Structure 1
Amino acid sequence: MSDGAQEIKNRILSVWNRIKFGQAAWLLDAGDTSSSSSPVTLLARNYYMSESFARDFVSKLWLTYRREFKEFRGTKINSDCGWGCTIRSGQMLLGNALLLLHLGRHWRWERNGGEDPLKDLKHRNIIRLFADQEESPLSIHSLLAIARINLNRSPGEWFGPSSTSSLTQIGSFQCKH
């Protein structure tokens, strides 16, 4: 690998690890050349690279590729890397809609708990709906069980927006919460 390619790879991995481990890459990267006088918009809110933006950003539900979770029933597949992106996007869309509906647009996640224990509990309960386990009604495991029955589709197959929408709709209707 050339030095330039290795440098790009290292930079991407560095940013990925910052995101993965909860550090806001945009606040930590001194080499960033973006203008701090230009606003950043997140869900119709304008921010000037600030703590307010970081708090709003980390308060959103992020569901990304995973690996080494319990194998999907009847398979040896224990990862959704490479084929689960649209399902994860559908989960994030639904999860963030639930956060907005139940907690409001002004709610922010606090590491040590917020001022309203009831809202903190609602937040945790929404997250539990999507946990990567068969018992969670909106987990990738549950959505793929729905896909097997309703769409004759299997883990490892790529799902488009239409099929993902159907899965999340059926999963939502089956959800007891």
Structure 2
Amino acid sequence: MNHLWMSGADLMSHDDTPSMSDDNELWLLGCRYELPDANARRMQQDILEAQTDDMFRPRPTDSTSSHDISSSSNATDSKTSNAAVMSLLWPPDFYADFCSRYWMTYRHNYPPIRPSHYKTDIGWGCMLRSGQSLLANTLLIHLLSRHWRRVTPSNPSWKTYVKITHWFLDELSPRAPFSIHRIALLGKQLGKNIGEWFGPSTISQVIQ
């Protein structure tokens, strides 16, 4: 619950934040959803904790033995199974809505943000990624409506969704006008060096 709530926190204004006193409801971008019963929520918390533990398991390397590869495969199968269970525990309408939102977060090993040598925004790009998330979801709602859902690539609106996604690729190119590269360079014009943390005012000016 906390992970999902915080992941979507940048998508909600403080005025729109619902009261957390009602344990039977869940809100996302102004839409209200009914939560499952208490037993289902406890099971959901157990799954979240299991997934957290799995995140810190060693990943296979080139020297990984066949036994380790088999174990890794089992872990992947388990994670896939957990994801399927998660989709059943959350209200279906909420789950489809949440999975249709953009969530930009730290990345690494993209082309350097010239003239610097930064290939990652880990540790300094939180506000830049929050700004991307806000802008991407605003464009998604504006171009495809608040009720659009990322259901299947065969959907006629899928091309628009892909187009919006391309606008935020981690590269400095005409097809990615809202990339972290461009945001960082615009911030430099406002007195923020590449690799320096942005404040809310700076990211707002850059988005504008």
Tell me if both proteins adopt one fold, taking TM over 0.5 as the criterion. Answer: yes
Amino acid corresponding to residue 72 of structure 1 in structure 2: I
> Structure 1: how far apart are the matches of 2:149 and 2:97?
6
Q: CA deviation at 1:111?
A: 4.0
Counterpart position of 2:161 = 123
- Scaled by the length of structure 1, the TM-score of the pair is 0.70
> Structure 1: how far apart are the matches of 2:107 and 2:200?
20
Question: Which SS does the other structure have where 1:144 is aligned?
Answer: helix
Counterpart position of 2:32 = 46
In structure 2, the CA distance between the partners of 1:73 and 1:53, relative to structure 1 (3 Å rule), is same
Q: CA deviation at 1:112?
A: 3.5
Bigger Rg over Cα = 2
Counterpart position of 1:86 = 127
- Aligned equivalent of 2:106, options 65, 70, 77: 65
Counterpart position of 1:133 = 171
Amino acid corresponding to residue 135 of structure 2 in structure 1: L
Question: Aligned pair count?
Answer: 136
- Aligned equivalent of 1:146, options 186, 203, 207: 186
Q: CA deviation at 1:147?
A: 1.8
In structure 2, stretches of 5+ residues that fail to align are 8-22, 35-89
Q: CA deviation at 1:67?
A: 1.0
> Structure 1: how far apart are the matches of 2:144 and 2:183?
25
> Structure 2: how far apart are the matches of 1:153 and 1:96?
25
Structure 2 residue 122 is the aligned partner of structure 1 residue 103: no
Amino acid corresponding to residue 121 of structure 2 in structure 1: D
Amino acid corresponding to residue 200 of structure 2 in structure 1: P
Q: Share of identical aligned residues, percent?
A: 37
User: Deviation per CA, 1:24-83, whole angstroms, max 9, x where unpaired?
Assistant: xxxxxxxxxxxxx61111111111231111110010011101111111102221111111
- Scaled by the length of structure 2, the TM-score of the pair is 0.60
Amino acid corresponding to residue 161 of structure 2 in structure 1: H
Amino acid corresponding to residue 144 of structure 2 in structure 1: L
Q: CA deviation at 1:113?
A: 3.2
> Structure 1: how far apart are the matches of 2:129 and 2:163?
18
Question: Which SS does the other structure have where 1:90 is aligned?
Answer: helix
Amino acid corresponding to residue 161 of structure 1 in structure 2: P
In structure 1, stretches of 5+ residues that fail to align are 1-14, 20-36, 170-177
User: Deviation per CA, 1:81-126, whole angstroms, max 9, x where unpaired?
Assistant: 1111111111111110111111001110024432xx1x21111111
